[in-house]
């Protein structure tokens, strides 16, 4: 089975469209590590697309806040503005869909999914220490996660912890052949708001027969998203960060 792995779409329709064009005919099923909404100007379109196309989704911290499960006050002021605006843009049905997304980990046939760590969807796996704790808690040898908006991840072989890097800036993909007896935690990167210094939309493909994960990056019309964001009255900083991938 070939999977398209998405995370942190964050209401960026142009980025999702570019990813789907780039990945076309390379996957059979879509899974998502959460954060469908927040920050960018197309929450309704992204929620509708995910509800129609994703086989499995785990909820992210932004989904939780916009759905009213968690409190807004934990967000920084800019994220609060965007969360309030997002709530006003979604129908009752779309809000119900967000509310019903299960929290991770979701343990599936070939891998598991979570947003932050297996313990906490709001925790960031950026250090080797947190990665080590999360790897110890995996229920499958392979997990996909999100939340950091940084493509790459970690693996463990016995006691040795290794780092998986993002696709290089002058490349469009990086393939990882999974080895037996290793544990992997892989972040496909953020579709809608990359923060690893590469503004291109990020995603991953996984072929479970070949045991091959492919990290990919694809350009999208950031200026279009920026224009829509401005005319929606969302904070300028949210648009500017897209150009820098920060």
Q: Using CB under 5 A as the criterion, which residues of the chain lie in contact with Zn ion when the complex forms?
A: 8, 35
CB of 10 to Zn ion, least distance (A): 6
CB of 169 to Zn ion, least distance (A): 22
Quick count: other Cβ atoms within 10 Å of Cβ 62? 28
CB of 192 to Zn ion, least distance (A): 8
Minimum CB distance to Zn ion smaller for 38 or for 141: 38
Alpha carbons 108 and 56: distance in angstroms, whole number: 9
Minimum CB distance to Zn ion smaller for 82 or for 208: 82
Minimum CB distance to Zn ion smaller for 12 or for 208: 12
Q: Residues near 117 by Cβ (< 8 Å), separated by ≥ 6?
A: 123, 125, 130, 133, 134, 137, 145
CB of 187 to Zn ion, least distance (A): 11
Q: Residues near 121 by Cβ (< 8 Å), separated by ≥ 6?
A: 34, 58, 59, 60, 61, 64, 103, 104, 114, 115, 147
Three-state DSSP state, 25: coil
- Whether the CB-CB separation of 145 and 116 falls below 8 Å is answered with yes
Three-state DSSP state, 64: helix
Minimum CB distance to Zn ion smaller for 8 or for 207: 8
Minimum CB distance to Zn ion smaller for 35 or for 207: 35
Q: Residues near 37 by Cβ (< 8 Å), separated by ≥ 6?
A: 10, 11, 43, 46, 47, 62, 63, 66, 86, 90, 98
Minimum CB distance to Zn ion smaller for 8 or for 123: 8
Alpha carbons 176 and 205: distance in angstroms, whole number: 10
CB of 168 to Zn ion, least distance (A): 23
CB of 9 to Zn ion, least distance (A): 9
Quick count: other Cβ atoms within 10 Å of Cβ 82? 26
């Amino acid at each position: 089975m070939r999977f398209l792995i998405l995370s942190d779409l964050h209401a960026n329709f142009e980025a999702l469209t570019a990813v789907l064009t780039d990945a076309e005919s390379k996957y059979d099923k879509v899974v998502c590590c959460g954060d469908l909404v927040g920050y960018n100007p197309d929450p309704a379109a992204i929620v509708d697309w995910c509800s129609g196309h994703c086989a499995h989704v785990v909820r992210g911290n932004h989904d939780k806040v916009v759905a009213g499960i968690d409190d807004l006050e934990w967000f920084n002021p800019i994220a609060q503005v965007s969360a309030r605006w997002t709530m006003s843009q979604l129908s009752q049905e779309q809000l119900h869909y967000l509310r019903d997304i299960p929290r991770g980990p979701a343990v599936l046939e070939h891998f598991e999914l979570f947003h932050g760590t297996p313990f906490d969807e709001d925790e960031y796996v950026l250090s080797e220490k947190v990665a080590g704790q999360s790897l110890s808690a995996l229920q499958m040898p392979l997990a996909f996660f999100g939340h950091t908006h940084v493509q790459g991840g970690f693996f463990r072989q016995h006691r040795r912890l290794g780092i998986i890097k993002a696709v290089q800036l002058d490349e469009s993909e990086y393939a990882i052949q999974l080895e037996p007896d290793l544990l992997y935690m892989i972040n496909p990167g953020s579709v809608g708001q990359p923060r690893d210094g590469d503004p291109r939309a990020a995603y991953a493909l996984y072929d479970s027969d070949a045991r091959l994960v492919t990290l990919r990056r694809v350009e999208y019309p950031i200026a279009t998203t920026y224009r829509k964001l401005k005319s929606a009255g969302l904070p300028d900083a949210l648009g500017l960060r897209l150009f820098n991938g920060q």
